[in-house]
């Protein structure tokens, strides 16, 4: 299958981030970003020439230009390799692909192997990094040991894989992109975790419909975006046990107050926040209203 590579040059980081939102509405299979350059990959038979009207959010905040190129399917591995350096977090985590020789996996406590396919979630986005740090903190504190976890918007599943390696007992990942969900299933199998990690293609409606029966959950990770988090937080609460931890990311500091307000309505209390490159992570604990003490 051949692809069209669309290379966007953005006026500012805000333009680049809003472009990612615009691209969600288009038949894009994969996106890579580096600074102000964003590359989107669309199946050739799905591609229609783009105009600024296709990219309303990005176009509203700054200038945006792009070029296109055809990429034959057989060249995709080389293209993927050129855009995916290994990811490390201290000596704790290495996310690598089969073609990476360095760094040495033996130097890391947790090693996750990716599969070079057209899907999101190689771990390089600041929010993924923030969430992986949350997993490591849960491992260090003992919070993660023996838990049942839910990873919403799991992408290629690397966060759930890391959580299982770091002490969680079982995990469910839900991902709206069927290509990424298929990739996540394959990554689970590569790590021998297919019996402990169930991947579902869909969204939070799966929780509402009771289609995912592995709850209640001790920890929920949701790295998506502000609007989806606001819409779906009540669903996360509905499948969480009292005292469960919810980690949210995928938003900016300006989004924190409205998210905390929503969290409070859903029965969560804030336990702190973290930041990386302008992106935020919130840590919340679920304390259902009917179980709180009234004075």
Please report, for the domain that includes residue 236, its CATH number.
3.40.50.150
Say whether both 156 and 243 belong to one domain.
yes
Q: Where are the alpha helices (DSSP H) in 12-93?
A: 13-24, 56-59, 76-83
Say whether both 27 and 140 belong to one domain.
no
pLDDT at 278: 84
Q: How many structural domains is the chain composed of?
A: 2
Say whether both 71 and 184 belong to one domain.
no
Supply the range of the domain harboring residue 256: 113-291
Say whether both 137 and 198 belong to one domain.
yes
265 inside domain: yes
174 inside domain: yes
Q: Residues in the chain, how many?
A: 295
pLDDT at 250: 87
Q: How far is CA 110 from CA 61, 91, 106, 113, 240, in A?
A: 40, 9, 9, 10, 27
93 inside domain: no
Cα–Cα dist 26/217, whole Å = 33
Cα–Cα dist 168/114, whole Å = 20
Say whether both 127 and 196 belong to one domain.
yes
Say whether both 74 and 124 belong to one domain.
no
106 inside domain: no
Cα–Cα dist 109/122, whole Å = 18
List the chain pLDDT tens, one digit each, 295 residues. Answer: 688 999 999 999 889 889 988 988 888 877 777 778 888 888 898 999 999 999 999 999 989 999 999 987 656 566 666 667 888 999 999 999 888 888 999 999 999 998 766 545 566 778 889 999 999 999 999 999 999 999 999 988 999 999 999 999 999 999 987 878 888 999 999 999 999 999 999 999 999 777 665 679 999 999 988 888 999 999 999 999 999 999 999 888 989 999 999 999 999 999 999 999 888 999 999 998 765 444 3
With b for 16 or more beta-carbon neighbours within 10 A and e for fewer, the 30-48 pattern comes to: bbbbeeeebbbbbeeeebe
Cα–Cα dist 273/31, whole Å = 27
Distance of CA 166 to the CA centre of its chain: 18
Residue 101: exposure state from Cβ atoms within 10 A (0-12, 13-18, ≥19): exposed
Q: What is the phi-psi region of residue 277: left when phi exceeds 0, alpha when psi lies from -120 to 50, beta otherwise?
A: left
Say whether both 64 and 167 belong to one domain.
no
pLDDT at 134: 98
Phi, psi of 133 (to 5 degrees): -65, -35
Say whether both 183 and 274 belong to one domain.
yes
List 71's β-bridge partners, or say none.
Answer: 3
User: Nearest 5 degrees, angle CA 232-CA 199-CA 182?
Assistant: 115
Say whether both 119 and 260 belong to one domain.
yes
pLDDT at 282: 98
List 199's β-bridge partners, or say none.
Answer: 173
102 inside domain: no
100 inside domain: no
97 inside domain: no
């Amino acid at each position: 299958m051949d692809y069209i590579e669309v290379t966007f040059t953005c006026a500012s980081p805000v333009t680049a981030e809003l472009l990612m939102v615009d691209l969600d509405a288009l038949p894009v299979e994969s996106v890579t970003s580096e600074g102000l350059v964003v590359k989107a990959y669309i199946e050739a038979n799905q591609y229609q020439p783009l105009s600024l009207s296709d990219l309303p959010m990005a176009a509203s905040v700054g200038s945006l230009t792009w070029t296109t190129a055809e990429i034959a399917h057989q060249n995709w591995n080389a293209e993927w390799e050129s855009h995916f350096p290994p990811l490390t977090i201290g000596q704790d985590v290495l996310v690598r692909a089969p073609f990476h020789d360095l760094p040495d996996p033996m130097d890391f406590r947790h090693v996750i192997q990716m599969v070079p396919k057209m899907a999101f979630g190689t771990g390089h986005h600041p929010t993924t990094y923030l969430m992986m740090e949350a997993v490591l903190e849960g491992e260090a504190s003992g919070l993660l040991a023996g838990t049942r976890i839910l990873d919403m918007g799991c992408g290629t599943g690397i966060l759930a894989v890391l959580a299982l390696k770091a002490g969680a007992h079982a995990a469910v990942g839900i991902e709206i992109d069927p290509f990424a969900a298929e990739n996540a299933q394959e990554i689970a199998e590569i790590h021998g975790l297919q019996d402990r990690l169930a991947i579902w293609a869909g969204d939070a409606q799966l929780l509402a419909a009771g289609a995912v029966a592995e709850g209640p959950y001790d920890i929920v990770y949701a790295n998506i975006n502000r609007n989806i988090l606001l819409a779906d937080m009540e669903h996360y609460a509905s499948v969480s046990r009292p005292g469960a931890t919810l980690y949210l990311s995928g938003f900016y500091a300006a989004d924190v107050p409205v998210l905390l307000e929503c969290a409070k309505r859903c029965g969560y209390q804030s336990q702190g926040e973290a930041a990386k490159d302008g992106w935020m992570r919130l840590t919340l604990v679920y304390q259902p209203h009917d179980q709180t003490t009234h004075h």
